[in-house]
Structure 1
């Protein structure tokens, strides 16, 4: 992931001062790859490839549509340090406007980029990416503001945390005096120009759990999200400085790699359990590097030839899915159709097959930044990705949605890539796929009142007549042309909008897309907080 994450296969990441990925390649072969990657053409087409590469459109009633909003080194938001509170708020509202304009239904926002916080945490200091000074109070609670404004637009908010990263530099004295890394210097080591909590220390892991769970407990989050940073990506000529920790805590493991992998496994398992103990409805998902292992290394792996998260970050991402520790997996498949070392056409079905075995939802991480940088030269590449994901889903191994990296590349719309996605796939709103294993609320069909025509559209009003404990979190409005006795709510083209509940009995929405003089029939359904849907209301025609 270039936030910053996910180096191209056979390369290691380096971060420039803006936070973008540069490729520090390990030899001539890696360098050649970085030069030619943008000009490679797809391999021979399979039946799926031929269809996906054509200009196809899909309307899916249920799919996650999200974008990452990165805060580390001020990649997306805040755009720079030192903004006033009103400027910070205005910038965040701009990103919500972008999400709404492109009919997204979720945002993944980085709230703990480097053992710091975008909320008043008792465990870690205010993030330096807010004010420019670590520990500097921004003058309001950004996370509380994010929750309120994101939910007002009926978008999900997944709070994004980097578990082990402490600092983007190696000098502990540049951290605030009461930083946990300064109070417990034995918890931390330097590697690759950064500081990290040692994943092998149980006490360091306990601190990370507490820091993350504080926000889960005190804020109305929809999800907890990690990206691909576990043990750091390998740096040529450097060894991870954890030999002493292994000597103390590694008894019973065949080698240090197995011990490291177990450390990450235990971290993922434990945080999953603790999130569900606090709030069973909060989703937990991880966005790993797109390759678990290559089939040449492990026959269970994918038909690829790039870096392997199992070996390089000690992240056994396949196991996490199969064990059911995650609600969703969001692999960063940041490559194009036909790229030999990491082919999108091969990786998506590989992940879909793995996820389907446990019922874990699968979202695909999309490298929109590679359109901006010129790596993806086909303006239809992004749209074709979504067509292909729909075809994989139709084969019985669901792809439940896509996540775009990163926010600032969405409105840039280089080569019209996102406009094409909007026209081909996001022409209508979509509900987030429900997860059957999450606790549901038995919401009741709303009572739709008579419709009214206003200057700006059709006024739709309804009553949530359910008892308080069964009240809906939001509602979906459906519309069909002409007078009808019913509206097919399974037809994605009938979905007009979703709106957050006002918290009162009477709800209202104005359909500004209604054509004056046209006759329409409407129904409304109720949705609980994890997107389970009631039956439709009685139809009304105007």
Structure 2
């Protein structure tokens, strides 16, 4: 996700916000809240991400034998069941490569250590079958535009599309990216991702927060040529870039439904759309803004109904001075009301017990309090935890507390 690094907005603050935050609308009584919470718990999304980039969660290292890779994958699925989760979000296209035999892109480097080398088995096909056998949904997580975590095209597989089409890629921030401003790139990345929808019984296409890359101080994203060619008619480059991402989202949404209307399309964006100081429709927050920094108008995608679900990454503690969890949950709840788009909250399990994090994250009950707070808001349909390694390790028992306090039994996903 946009999870490795860059989750700033630290600052301590009081937990008083939890006590003062009430439900939006409806009868403001304890009985009403309990009734809503019970109804929501009967059918809720309980997911976890399994990140493969950098071998973050799985496989534990590149080059394992197929049977060892498979055993590790099944262990993650089994642990999800043990934690009474009902969905896994598996990263299957981490760096413009694939965890299935794709006709468009090479085999993923995270499997064998060599991009393009056949791992000897079908990880995505296995994941779908084994997840469903356990009653878990399998959401296939794709990264549309990230090509490599370096800037040397010669390090890519010899037949990589980025090497065949060097005009498609741009270096920025020490990484290679497909250029979102090129229509041929937009079509290609859709073809590459949707191949998995045609081949497998996945439950959803899932994207995270990587659209245009996060800004790097002192660097400009090098899309002058594309803007000169295609930017006519837009008031500025930012508006053109947002339109490029809007087209990617809306076109993908339509194509997913053409292939299989039962497959959902969900996005897990950065947790802040815009600030109220920037836009009256924004949240009372400070720091980064996906609309301005990533050119990702997540609020528009919801209002237009282009996506089936949204999982904002609310990776801050209750009381955070710049981005308070207790402020952002009701903001997202209000955004999705009446749209038909499901709202699940992305939770920063990886911060729990991390000594580098603020004091709130040293409390095993912080995440449990998140779920208690979120249950007050009718549009919240569940939570997704980053990530699988922490679901297993559970450094200070934060996940165990969530299960004990909120997941007494297994329930179905709301989809």
Q: 1:47 maps to what in 2?
A: 20
Alignment of 1:155 onto 2:140 = no
Deviations 1:96-127 (A, max 9, x none): 11101100000000000000000000100000
CA distance in 2, matches of 1:357, 1:312: 27
Matches of 1:107 and 1:197, distance apart in 2: 27
Name 2:60's counterpart in structure 1: 79
Taking the aligned partners of 1:2 and 1:217, their CA distance within structure 2 comes to: 27
Residues 1:400 and 2:395 aligned together = no
After TM superposition, list the pairs within 5 Å mapping 1:169-318 onto structure 2: 169-318=150-299
Residue 118 of structure 2 corresponds to which residue in structure 1? 137
- Confirm whether residue 386 of structure 1 aligns to residue 367 of structure 2: no
Preserved CA contact (<8 Å) 1:3 1:70 = no
Distance 2:140 2:166 in 1: 27
Question: In 1, are the aligned partners of 2:210 and 2:294 still within 8 Å (CA)?
Answer: yes
Structure 2 distance, partners of 1:267, 1:69, is 24
The alignment's TM-score, normalised by the length of structure 1, stands at 0.72
Provide, for residues 12-36 of structure 1, a one-character-per-residue CA deviation record: whole Å limited to 9, x for no partner.
xxxxxxxxxxxxxxxxxxxxx4xxx
Q: Are the aligned partners of 2:138 and 2:202 in contact in 1 as well (CA < 8 Å)?
A: yes
Q: 1:503 matched to which residue of 2?
A: none
Q: Specify which of 362, 379, 387 is matched with residue 377 of structure 1.
A: 362
Contact 1:6–1:332 (CA under 8 A) maintained in structure 2: no
1:352 matches 2:329: no
Ranges in structure 1 where 5+ consecutive residues have no aligned partner? 10-32, 435-542
Rounded Cα–Cα distance in structure 2 between residues aligned with 1:43 and 1:293: 24
Matched-pair contact (CA < 8 Å) for 2:314–2:328: yes
Q: Distance in 2 between matches of 1:423 and 1:198?
A: 46
CA contact (8 A) 1:166 1:195 kept: yes
Structure 2 stretches of 5 or more lacking a match?
24-28
Counterpart of 1:114 in structure 2 is: 95
Q: Which moved more, 1:334-343 or 1:105-114?
A: 334-343
Q: Hey, what's the Cα distance between the residues in 1 that align with 2:149 and 2:75?
A: 27
Question: d(CA) in 2 for partners of 1:46 and 1:152?
Answer: 41
Change beyond 3 A, Cα 1:368–1:80: same
* 1:502-534 superposed Cα distances (whole Å, 9 cap, x missing partner): xxxxxxxxxxxxxxxxxxxxxxxxxxxxxxxxx
SS in 1 for 2:186: helix
Aligned equivalent of 1:7:
7
Would you say 1:164 and 2:149 are equivalent positions?
Answer: no
Q: Secondary structure at the match of 1:78?
A: coil
Instruction: Flag the structure with larger Rg.
Output: 1
Task: After the TM superposition, list the runs of 4 or more consecutive aligned residues in structure 1 that deviate by more than 4 angstroms.
Answer: 43-46, 49-52, 56-59
Q: Residue 138 of structure 2 aligns to a residue in which SS?
A: strand
For the 8 Å contact 2:18–2:318, the answer to whether it is kept is: no
- 1:391: Cα distance to partner? 1.0
Aligned to 1:25: none
Distance 1:400 1:326 in 2: 15
For residues 111 and 287 of structure 1, what CA distance do their matches in structure 2 show? Answer: 15
CA contact (8 A) 2:353 2:363 kept: no
Residues 131 and 138, structure 1, Cα contact 8 Å, conserved in 2: yes
Larger RCO, structure (CA 8 Å, separation 6 or more): 2
Shift in Å, 1:6: 5.3
Q: What is the Cα deviation at residue 305 of structure 1?
A: 1.0
Among 305, 309, 319, the alignment partner of 2:300 is 319
343, 346, 358: which is aligned to 1:362?
343
- Displacement after TM superposition at 1:43 (Å): 4.5
Deviation readout 1:223-257 (Å, 9 max, x if unpaired) = 00000000000000000000111000111001000
* Deviation (angstroms), 1:340: 1.6
* SS of 1:408 mapped into structure 2: helix
* Conservation of the 8 A alpha-carbon contact between 2:17 and 2:318: no
- Aligned twin of 2:26: none
Return the alpha-carbon distance in structure 2 between the equivalents of residues 5 and 427 of structure 1: 33
* 1:378 to partner: Cα distance: 2.2
Count of residue pairs the alignment pairs up: 400
Note the alpha carbon deviations across 1:152-210, whole angstroms, 9 max, x for none. Answer: 00100000000000001000011111110000000000000000000000001111011
Aligned partners of 1:6 and 1:228 also within 8 Å: no
Q: 1:325 & 1:225 partners in 2: Cα distance? A: 13
Q: Equivalents in 1 of 2:186, 2:377: separation in Å?
A: 38
Moved more, 260-269 or 350-359: 350-359
Query: What TM-score does the superposition give when structure 2 sets the normalisation length?
Result: 0.93
- What's the counterpart of residue 125 of structure 1? 106
Q: Secondary structure at the match of 1:415?
A: coil
Cα distance in 2, alignment partners of residues 263 and 366 from structure 1? 29
Q: Which has the higher helix share?
A: 2
